[in-house]
């Protein structure tokens, strides 16, 4: 009778649960497992850092709805994933982490890389377990994948000691599990929908906020219908962009601060009232603002403020019910209302300020000029990955998205280093699902430093990712060339650590020269013509990544803000 080892049983179980992609770094005891994955038709992508592997896996989970998996070695290998696991858990993206561990008979006596991995992983997971035998691997894989997908998506961890992976079992003795579980669709309470309709009908200054949850739930058609039928103004959270187009006349992103401050009713569609939305509290909102909150997760309802209506539901089904309820009342918010006039006037004022900065092409360049002239050349359906401080925040306003799930950034946890991993996942997604699309990865120079070696991964798998490094020589901002040289040349080596500002990095570092490692060339740009030529040329490259390193003013900043971007605590 046929006999299988734990590696084969695990690979077969993952395949049965619909897992398509595994990202990782191999070593003892998971080398044979990585080979078994490939033998079972699963894509294995070898990464250069475990955190980056996590970032890729969670991004593929967000883009496809099926968890991406991470394969890592015991001890330090798994410990390196916790930043990525926390990011996925807080972003609510599905992911499965598979960790090798030391043989069970070595535990407690100082085994190689011995670590209490199941318990250490538990705070970052929805599910954390070790199958006690080869026979029960399929059951635990089914549990882990189901937990990662259902309800609020998140992370599962499975621990595999070397003896379990190497253990043998007769094929007939394996406990089989069903295929991927269907995710139950949650419908809203009709009474709560009617309450929401009544509040919207009475609103003088309504506002819709579209969150990442709406993007994940694939609710774009329903939300676009809602906006079209009602003429309501809307904003999107960073990764809610594109669910309704940024170029829609109803998008009032340019008047964000005014819209939040003066709205009397806010309809939240899969958006959390966390720091990104300033907690729904004063001084960013009026004290009497009414919130209509729709979220898949009941624990999220009323989490920061007491909502007037709180609806647990899938976003699609709730918005469909709202549309029907509002159509019965022939609701349409007039373009001639005072609220629309206020919003459009503020949009126009802010756009003029941005246009003035974007038109300044003097060197050293500023963010707005760089983003304006990049965006002019980008394919309109490209997936944009972005991270950094000002690079990400300003880029969000300048690099528009008209399609859902086409922007990936640092997210709710504000995690730096996600960019290359996200870009790898996006490029693999495009390769297998939408092969005509391009991935543009826009990085601050500081952010790029976290995971920059993943460029080698991109080269190895022939991923045509355009990496644009907006290089201000620092974290938030660096030093000008003269100041940098003075510090470099002044005093002894012991003094340089006392003199160099903590936010400063090397001036105008030549990151594009990383491509020479692989026998290729990057692009170094200081002017707009150089930048635009580099973008054009990089988009012609179809079998490898490219790096465009554009130098900007180290003191370049965003336009003046009515409020600090991060709401300060008053405690």
DSSP H or E run through 530: helix 528-538
User: What is the pLDDT at residue 175?
Assistant: 78
Q: Is the pLDDT of residue 269 over 60?
A: yes
User: What is the pLDDT at residue 388?
Assistant: 94
Q: What 3-state DSSP class applies to 505?
A: coil
Q: Poorest-confidence range of 98-102, 171-175, 364-368?
A: 171-175
Q: Answer whether 559's CB lies under 8 Å from 354's CB.
A: yes
Q: Which residues contact 308 (CB under 8 A, 6 or more apart)?
A: 195, 199, 290, 291, 292
For residues 68-97, one letter each, b for 16 or more C-beta atoms within 10 angstroms of the residue's C-beta and e for the rest, the string is bbbbbbbbebbbbbbbbbbbbbbbbbbbbb
User: What is the pLDDT at residue 489?
Assistant: 86
How large is the average pLDDT for residues 417-427?
A: 98
pTM of the model: 0.96
Q: Is the pLDDT of residue 95 over 70?
A: yes
Q: What 3-state DSSP class applies to 14?
A: helix
User: What is the pLDDT at residue 178?
Assistant: 80
Token match 């009026």: residue?
Answer: 286
Q: Is the pLDDT of residue 381 over 80?
A: yes
Task: Indicate the pLDDT class of residue 247, thresholds 50, 70 and 90.
Answer: very high
How large is the average pLDDT for residues 555-566?
A: 74
Q: Is the pLDDT of residue 563 over 80?
A: no
What is the C-alpha to C-alpha distance for residues 284 and 159, in angstroms, rounded to an integer? 45
How large is the average pLDDT for residues 317-323?
A: 98
The DSSP call for residue 558 is P
User: What is the pLDDT at residue 1?
Assistant: 66
Query: What percentage of the chain has pLDDT greater than the value 70?
Result: 98
Kindly report the average pLDDT of the chain as a whole number: 95
Length of the chain: 571
Task: Indicate the pLDDT class of residue 105, thresholds 50, 70 and 90.
Answer: confident
User: Would you tell me the crossing angle of helices 6-16 and 137-149 to the nearest 10 degrees?
Assistant: 30
Task: Indicate the pLDDT class of residue 565, thresholds 50, 70 and 90.
Answer: low
Q: Is the pLDDT of residue 65 over 60?
A: yes
User: What is the pLDDT at residue 570?
Assistant: 52
User: What is the pLDDT at residue 122?
Assistant: 97
Query: What percentage of the chain has pLDDT greater than the value 90?
Result: 91
The per-residue DSSP string of 66-103 comes to S-EEEEE-TTHHHHTTHHHHHHHHHHT--EEEEEEE--
User: What is the pLDDT at residue 176?
Assistant: 75
Q: Answer whether 399's CB lies under 8 Å from 451's CB.
A: no
Q: Is the pLDDT of residue 177 over 80?
A: no
Give 485-532 pLDDT, tens digit per residue: 989 888 666 688 889 999 999 999 999 999 999 999 999 999 999 999
């Amino acid at each position: 009778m046929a006999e299988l080892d734990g590696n084969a049983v695990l690979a077969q179980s993952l395949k049965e649960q619909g897992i398509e992609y595994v990202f990782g770094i191999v070593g003892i005891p998971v080398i044979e497992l990585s080979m078994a994955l490939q033998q079972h038709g699963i894509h294995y992508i070898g990464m250069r850092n475990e955190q980056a592997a996590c970032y890729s896996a969670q991004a593929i989970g967000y883009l496809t709805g099926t968890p991406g998996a991470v394969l890592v070695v015991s001890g330090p290998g798994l410990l390196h994933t916790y930043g990525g696991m926390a990011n996925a858990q807080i972003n609510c993206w599905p992911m499965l982490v598979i960790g090798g561990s030391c043989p069970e008979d070595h535990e407690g006596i100082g085994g190689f890389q011995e670590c209490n991995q199941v318990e250490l992983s538990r705070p970052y997971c929805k599910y954390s377990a070790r199958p006690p035998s080869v026979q029960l691997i399929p059951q635990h894989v089914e549990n882990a994948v189901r937990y990662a997908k259902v309800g609020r998506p998140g992370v599962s961890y499975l621990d595999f000691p070397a003896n379990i992976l190497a253990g043998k079992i007769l094929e007939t003795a394996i406990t089989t599990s069903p295929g991927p579980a269907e995710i139950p669709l949650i419908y809203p309470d009709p009474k709560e929908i009617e309450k929401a309709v009544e509040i919207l009908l009475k609103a003088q200054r309504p506002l819709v906020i579209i969150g990442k949850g709406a993007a994940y739930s694939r609710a774009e058609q329903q939300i676009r219908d809602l906006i079209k039928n009602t003429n309501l103004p809307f904003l999107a959270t960073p990764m809610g962009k594109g669910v309704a187009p940024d170029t829609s006349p109803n998008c009032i992103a340019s008047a964000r601060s005014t819209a939040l401050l003066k709205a009397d009713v806010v309809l939240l569609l899969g958006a959390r009232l966390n720091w990104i939305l300033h907690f729904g509290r004063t001084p960013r909102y009026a004290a009497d603002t009414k919130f209509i909150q729709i979220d898949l997760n009941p624990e999220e309802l009323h989490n920061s403020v007491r909502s007037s209506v709180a609806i647990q539901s899938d976003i699609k089904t709730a918005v469909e019910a709202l549309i029907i309820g509002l159509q019965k009342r022939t609701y349409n918010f007039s373009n001639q209302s005072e609220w629309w006039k206020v919003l459009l006037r503020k949009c126009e004022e802010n756009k003029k300020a941005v246009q003035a900065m974007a038109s300044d092409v003097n060197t050293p360049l500023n963010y707005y000029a760089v983003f304006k002239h990049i965006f002019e050349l980008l394919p309109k359906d490209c997936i944009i990955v972005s991270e950094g401080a000002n690079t990400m925040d300003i880029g969000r306003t300048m690099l528009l998205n008209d399609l859902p799930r086409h922007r990936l950034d640092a997210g709710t946890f504000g995690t730096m280093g996600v960019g290359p991993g996200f870009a790898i996942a996006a490029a693999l997604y495009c390769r297998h699902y939408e092969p005509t699309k391009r991935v543009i990865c826009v990085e601050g120079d500081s952010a790029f430093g976290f995971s920059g070696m993943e460029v080698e991964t991109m080269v190895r798998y022939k991923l045509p990712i355009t990496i644009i490094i907006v290089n201000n020589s620092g974290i938030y901002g660096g030093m000008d060339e003269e100041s940098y040289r003075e510090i470099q040349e002044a005093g002894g080596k012991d003094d340089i650590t006392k003199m160099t500002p903590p936010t400063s990095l090397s001036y105008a570092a030549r990151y594009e020269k990383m491509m020479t490692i692989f026998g290729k060339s990057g692009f170094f740009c200081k002017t707009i013509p150089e930048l635009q030529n580099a973008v054009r040329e990089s988009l012609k490259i179809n079998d490898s990544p490219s790096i465009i390193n554009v130098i900007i003013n180290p003191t370049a900043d965003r336009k003046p803000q009515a409020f600090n971007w991060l709401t300060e605590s008053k405690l």
